[in-house]
Structure 1
Amino acid sequence: MQIFTIKAKVPAVIVFGDSSVDAGNNNHIQTVLKSNFRPYGRDFYGGKPTGRFSNGRVPPDFISEMFGLRPYVPAYLDTAYNITDFATGVCFASAGTGYDNATSDVLAVIPLWKEVEYYKDYQKKLRDYLGAEKANTIISEAVYLTSMGTNDFLENYYTLPNRRNQYTINKYQYYLASIAESFIKTIYSLGARKISLGGLPPMGCLPLERTTNFMTGNGGTCNADYNKVAVAFNAKLSSLVARLNNELLGSKIVFSNPYPIFDQIVQTPSSFGFESTAVACCSTGLFEMGYMCDQYNPFTCTNANSYVFWDSFHPTDKTNRIISEHLFKTVLSTLQ
């Protein structure tokens, strides 16, 4: 039974995280945060809205292809796929989630601990399908991609009072980093060895945050305070990765930091072939995402490749490709 292609550099890509990497798990839970309708997915294979928060692919799809695997990673809860598909790649991510359980509660999405439970369930199915030895090889040789944290700040800490009353912004970052550490140690104990911990983008430059900034009299510029928090949190994650590489025997953990390349795109969009960075393609491009970004909105742009952002929170397929290629070339290729 052949389960990975001749040219594949790793046997599988396994994904945890939020909407930056969700391949459609939220379609199968009770939440308002979904994107399984047009115009989402209009530039995906067959123009299919899969539940990815983009006009096309999200980073794990590109990364899977760069490792010589399929050009997309299917969602674990998608009933169109089964363990034969998941043997070479699977996504447990849920849009709207974060490290903090309180973040996933905001929009009733899958918390990180539940993503790990799905992963344990997946391991059992994989062993039943391939036998323990082959399954264990895939588990230890697979690349694990994780991407979350933005929602912890934007949908939780800065939006709701509870965490702000408990933690200063710096202490909250340490709290999240401690959960990230516990998460990595958990999947390591389950057999994961090649792990990419994803950092935060310049989250103050999302069109939604620019719109908020405009309404508070700052002219639609990036929210500099949010960007400083992203940089500070990324530094904490980078230190964590260095420490865990020393602590966890046989592990290869990398920090995939999208901030510098994303910031370059936002600051000099024309050098990457983009025309618009402050406004998204979908709807008015100022604040809509999910159900507010639907096919009946007359404002949605015709060519998403001119735009850095697809909706007010998520990048276009083209932006995802540029960031993925950069991270693969600089960091992720060391995991093969």
Structure 2
Amino acid sequence: MQQRDQSQPQQTQLFMKTMFWFLPIVLLLLPVLEVHGKVPALIVFGDSTVDPGNNNHISTILKSDFEPYGRDFAGGKPTGRFSNGRIATDFIAEAFGIKSTVPAYLDPTYDIKDFATGVSFASAGTGFDNATSDVLSVIPLWKELEYYAEFQDKLRGYLGNDKANEILREALHLISIGTNDFLENYYMLPGKSSQYTVVEYQNILLGIARNFITELHRRGAQKITITGLPPMGCLPLERATNIFFGSNCNEEYNNVAKDFNEKLSGAVTDLNKDLPGIQLVLSSPYEMVMEMIDNPTSFGFKNAAMACCGTGLFEMGYMCNKRNPFTCSDAREYIFWDSFHPTEKANRIVADYVVKHFLAAFK
């Protein structure tokens, strides 16, 4: 493989920091579990790591429907997933015996027959905060909820009220969101950081999260898992832009993630008490993610600091394209596919963790 050029104009760094942000990379390198339980569908809300292609169908530059994205997907097909292959929610659906991929709600090649067993409303680049989705004109979280309501109406029309309501009660609703609010919004743009301290902003996001989960529950959802934040200061681009500190992880960002996760854990505890019948689980992967990054060989990886695509430092989205000569030949050696998103192999680990964590919480 050719030697990687680690130089990159500052302008490019700043541009890439407004791009999509990656859901927590997690945990034990094991085959995806084959589980048995009454989970008839997987319903997904969130950002880029759980977006299977919704952004393909809106007017935004945040897309990944081109090579080499999807090169290890079935048929080598780029789908709009921000990975070389499948994403975590695909493996989660497979683990529950539902199906091998979860479709994007805005993809016109699917209809309610497909969505009845699993659907994703996620949009790369979005956040809890509406202002986060405005940065690059992606789908805000409130709009994902509107799509969910529309989906519920279609499901009831397709299956009838009783059967549809049963599926909604028993389906696993997965929420993966929040990293963009800090890296794409709070730390990138002057508006929020001049208005609020980081603690105040965390509390604003927690209020939005509470309200969103409460609304899902009001609409019939009972089984819900929400992810915490990863050590976001250890993403390849954050290391690359931390060059004056030896390209180490940005510990300020990591501490913010840990603090937010602690507060989110308290909110989950409260909601489990307050909302009748809810089964709400926090997937809090921070410590295990750090173990993976600190000891990649223990999980079967060779590189945790750089990504597979391009130089491994800055590229994602349109900078991660088939004309880039530096892209690695074997993505299985890397935790990161591009400078923010995990490889298919890491996504498989994510899925294994989420499934086990949910099942352990509600045996």
1:279 aligns with 2:306: yes
CA distance, structure 2, for counterparts of residue 324 and residue 263 of structure 1: 17
Q: Secondary structure at the match of 2:304?
A: coil
Give a deviation string over 1:195-237, Cα, whole Å, max 9, x none. 10111111000001000101xx111111011000000001111
Q: Secondary structure at the match of 1:279?
A: strand
The 8 Å contact of residues 143 and 335 in structure 1, kept in 2 or not, is answered as no
Q: Secondary structure at the match of 2:109?
A: coil
Identity %: 61
CA distance, structure 2, for counterparts of residue 123 and residue 330 of structure 1: 27
Give the equivalent residue in structure 1 for 2:337. Answer: 310
- Cα deviation for residue 21 of structure 1 reads 0.7
1:58 aligns with 2:87: yes
Deviates more, 1:257-266 or 1:240-249: 257-266
Give the equivalent residue in structure 2 for 1:200. Answer: 229
1:138 aligns with 2:167: yes
The 8 Å contact of residues 54 and 104 in structure 2, kept in 1 or not, is answered as yes
One-letter code of the match for 1:163? K
1:256 aligns with 2:283: yes
The 8 Å contact of residues 126 and 133 in structure 2, kept in 1 or not, is answered as yes
Give the equivalent residue in structure 1 for 2:5. Answer: none
- Cα deviation for residue 330 of structure 1 reads 2.6
Give the equivalent residue in structure 2 for 1:213. Answer: 242
Give the equivalent residue in structure 1 for 2:45. Answer: 16
Give the equivalent residue in structure 1 for 2:193. Answer: 164
Q: Secondary structure at the match of 1:278?
A: strand
Instruction: Please point out which of 99, 109, 130 is paired with 2:128.
Output: 99
Give the equivalent residue in structure 1 for 2:315. Answer: 288
1:324 aligns with 2:355: no
- Cα deviation for residue 274 of structure 1 reads 0.7
Give the equivalent residue in structure 1 for 2:20. Answer: none
Instruction: Please point out which of 207, 211, 215 is paired with 1:182.
Output: 211
- Cα deviation for residue 259 of structure 1 reads 1.6
Structure 1 unmatched ranges of 5 or more: 1-5
Give a deviation string over 1:231-251, Cα, whole Å, max 9, x none. 000111111000000000011
1:82 aligns with 2:111: yes
Structure 2 unmatched ranges of 5 or more: 1-34
- Cα deviation for residue 335 of structure 1 reads 5.5
**Number of residue pairs the alignment of both structures matches:** 329
Q: Residues 120 and 29 of structure 1: is their aligned pair in 2 closer, same or farther, counting only changes over 3 Å?
A: same
Give the equivalent residue in structure 2 for 1:222. Answer: 249
The TM-score, its normalising length taken from structure 1, stands at 0.96
CA distance, structure 2, for counterparts of residue 130 and residue 331 of structure 1: 27
The 8 Å contact of residues 41 and 48 in structure 1, kept in 2 or not, is answered as yes
Instruction: Please point out which of 218, 222, 247 is paired with 2:274.
Output: 247
The TM-score, its normalising length taken from structure 2, stands at 0.89
The 8 Å contact of residues 8 and 69 in structure 1, kept in 2 or not, is answered as no
Give the equivalent residue in structure 2 for 1:3. Answer: none
Give the equivalent residue in structure 1 for 2:9. Answer: none
Q: Residues 103 and 219 of structure 1: is their aligned pair in 2 closer, same or farther, counting only changes over 3 Å?
A: same
- Cα deviation for residue 333 of structure 1 reads 5.6
Give the equivalent residue in structure 1 for 2:324. Answer: 297
The 8 Å contact of residues 256 and 332 in structure 1, kept in 2 or not, is answered as no
The 8 Å contact of residues 38 and 170 in structure 2, kept in 1 or not, is answered as no
CA distance, structure 2, for counterparts of residue 268 and residue 227 of structure 1: 17
1:266 aligns with 2:287: no
Higher relative contact order (CA 8 A, sep 6+): 2
Could you list the structure 1 runs, at least 4 aligned residues long, displaced by more than 2 angstroms after superposition: 6-9, 330-336
Q: Residues 163 and 90 of structure 1: is their aligned pair in 2 closer, same or farther, counting only changes over 3 Å?
A: same
Give the equivalent residue in structure 2 for 1:25. Answer: 54
One-letter code of the match for 1:330? H
CA distance, structure 2, for counterparts of residue 7 and residue 228 of structure 1: 37
One-letter code of the match for 1:187? L
- Cα deviation for residue 8 of structure 1 reads 6.2
Instruction: Please point out which of 137, 140, 145 is paired with 1:108.
Output: 137
